[in-house]
Each structure stands twice: as C-alpha cells, then as structure tokens.
Amino acid sequence: MLVFVTGASGYIGGAIAATLVRAGHRVRGLVRAPAKAAAVAACGIVPVIGTLDHAPLLAAEAGAADATINAADSDHADAVATLLAACAGRRLLHTSGISLHSDDARGERGETIHDETTSAPPHPDKAARAAIDASILAAAARGEAFAVIRNPLIYGDALGPPAASVQLPALAATARRLGRARHVGPGRNVWSYAALTDIVTLYRMLLARGERGLFYAEYGEADFATLTGAIAKALGQAPPLAWSIEEAASEWGEQRARHTYGSNCRVRARRARALGWQPRGESPEAWIARVIKP
C-alpha cells in the first residue's frame, strides 16, 4: 500500500510512517523543514517538502496514495478540506485529540467520561477542532473510509525520526528548570493516556481494515499529582508544588495550561477494543522512571 503521511518528522506521524515502512508499505511523508528530510529518509520514508498550506501539493500526494494519514495538525481546516476532496474513494485517518473535551477544572477532578456515543458540546475554545472532526465524520457516514482518532496523553520512546511527546517532557523540563515539579491547583485532574507503541498499533489496525467513523484511544488514566510526583521522584526532587492557573499559563501558555495541565480529559476506547485492539504498553509512571533523568 502507498501511504501519504503528514507530520512525518513528528512524534506521532513519524512513528506511524516508520512503522508502516518496516511492515512493507511504501510511505511518502510531508516534511515542513528541509533540515529534517534526512532523518525522515533514514527511516525509509520518502520526504515530501512542503506545508499544510500548500493545497496543490496535498491534493496531488493524497490523490496518488492508497491512503492518507493526517498527523500534522488537528486544527488546520483548509488542509483537511483539501484532503477530504482528494481522498474520496480512498482511506483517510485524521489525528485529533481528547483535549476537545477539556474542562476548566484548574486541577480539580472531573467525573465526565466520553466515548464514541457521547455528544456533549466541546469547550468553546475547541469548537473549531470539533467542526473539523465533524466534517470528516460526515463523509464517513456517507460511506467514505474515513476515520478520526482522538488521542489521549501519549508517551514513549520515538519510533521514527527523533522526536518527543509534548506533555510529560514539558513537565519534566519545568521541574528541572525550577528545581521542583508543578501541577495546576491540587493536581486531582485526570487524563486518559496510552503508550506510543499502542497508538501506532491502532492506526495500523484501522488503516488495514478501512475502518470509518470516530475512535478513541486510551490504556488507562492518571491524575497530574501522580504524574508530576513520578517526575519529582525520577529527578530526585521534593514533592511537586501547586500552581495557580495564571502561574501555569505564564510557563506553558494559556491553552496548554487550561486544556492540558489543568483540565480533565477522560475517555474510553470502546470501539477500538471491540475491534480487538489490546494496548499493552508500559504505564506513564514506568516510562517516567525509565527515561526521565536528573
């Protein structure tokens, strides 16, 4: 199968693309920075230099491929519109995220859990992402082999070109710089999580079967007091300290402070598990203990 992957030098896209190459597929990968092309090529991926803003390039690549995986940007509406048209009659997997369901908990625990059957409105800050997902799901409902994967907090070693996940390494970097790990408020807010190896397995399963519709991915869940506590232990530091949402925003930015580190995002991957997806990766605490060093 010839697969076109956007975000091929990134953490998720690179892992998917490199794994598909190792499985015998031909993969062409969109690379925004020419300097990263060599690392992509070293994984057996044919680098395609360009950006999501280059609609003719996206249309040509997606139109020539058997399947396209968008792993570059969950919020680029114009790129998704281009891919929707170009992928008609082909397979399309779009990478979204569970932060669409984030609340403004400021470190307090929330009890709402989402799966493929829930239809609660997204946080207003995530309305644009929800609209993008809806456009893909509408095409799937019409019979196209299109799927949206809403990923949780992801961790694990890079499986393709050198890259790192966002959430846990940033928490560790803050802890190293300040000498103490931090969480928002009491850190009781909960996120679902999954290891990168299991995420890649899910994408491969959906791609091979031509599945359509909405899928969540998750292996378990943890609160941020637990995650930052594991980071503090790995770094040999005293227990984490609480930050106000304003302090967190000054460090990580308003969006990440509220919709990642201070929010609840709890989901259940019911459809994926019904297909036979069985995540087996290590826990985030185990990964932190193995990888995060002082």
3-state secondary structure labels for all residues of 87-117: CCCCEEEEEEEHHHHCCCCCCCCCCCCECCC
Q: Residue 166: exposed, middle, or buried by beta-carbon count in 10 A (0-12, 13-18, 19+)? A: middle
Q: Which of 1, 4, 15, 284 is nearest to 155 (CA)?
A: 284
150 forms beta bridges with 96, 216
Distance from C-alpha of 40 to C-alpha of 31, rounded to nearest angstrom: 8
pLDDT at 121: 82
Instruction: Please name which of 133, 12, 151 lies closest in space to residue 69, comparing C-alpha atoms.
Output: 12
The confidence score (pLDDT) of residue 122 equals: 85
Per-residue model confidence (pLDDT) at position 125: 86
User: Is there a contact between 65 and 2 (Cβ–Cβ < 8 Å)?
Assistant: yes
Q: Which CATH superfamily is domain 2-105+113-157+194-218+268-274 in?
A: NAD(P)-binding Rossmann-like Domain (3.40.50.720)
Tokens of 69: 């995986």
Domain residue ranges in the chain = 2-105+113-157+194-218+268-274
* Mean pLDDT per 10-residue section of the chain, whose length is 294 residues: 98 98 98 94 98 98 98 97 98 96 96 91 89 98 98 98 95 97 98 98 98 98 98 98 97 94 97 97 97 94
Query: What is the distance between the alpha carbons of residues 99 and 71, in angstroms, rounded to a whole number?
Result: 16
* Residue 124: predicted pLDDT: 87
Q: Provide the pLDDT for residue 35.
A: 92
What three-state secondary structure class fits 260? helix
For residue 12, CA distances in Å to 134, 164, 188 come to 22, 9, 27
Measure the N-to-C terminal CA separation of the chain; round to a whole number of Å.
43
* pLDDT the model gives residue 52: 97
Q: What is the pLDDT of residue 120?
A: 78
